[in-house]
Amino acid sequence: MSTGRSRTDKPVTRRQRQSLWYVFAIPASLLAASIAGLVLGLTGDGLRDAFAWGLLSLPIILAANAFVRRS
């Protein structure tokens, strides 16, 4: 009886389940950085605006970096 696999095929391995915190750690931290950037941008001037720009550009930079690494 044939199993449908050749001798060179590797057996299929199952991935381990990942915890909820492991899956959502980076999106949650990006959410916190975005909210902090919005609050800083709305409540202050000068140095606070610079920090707001940095925090709000963080998700864009990380998304561009991930896109470049995948292609």
- Does any domain span residue 43? yes
pTM comes to: 0.70
- Does any domain span residue 7? no
Other C-beta atoms closer than 10 Å to the C-beta of 55 total 20
Give the pLDDT confidence of 22-45 residue by residue, as tens digits.
Answer: 999 999 999 999 999 999 999 989
The structural domain count of the chain equals: 1
- What is the C-alpha separation between 52 and 58, in angstroms, rounded? 10
- Does any domain span residue 53? yes
- Does any domain span residue 36? yes
pLDDT for 15: 80
Whether the per-residue pLDDT at 2 is higher than 60: the answer is no
- What is the C-alpha separation between 52 and 27, in angstroms, rounded? 18
Determine the structural domain holding residue 65 and report its residue range.
Answer: 27-70
- Does any domain span residue 20? no
- Does any domain span residue 4? no
Give the pLDDT confidence of 47-59 residue by residue, as tens digits.
Answer: 999 999 999 999 9
What is the pLDDT confidence band of residue 71, given thresholds at 50, 70 and 90? Answer: confident
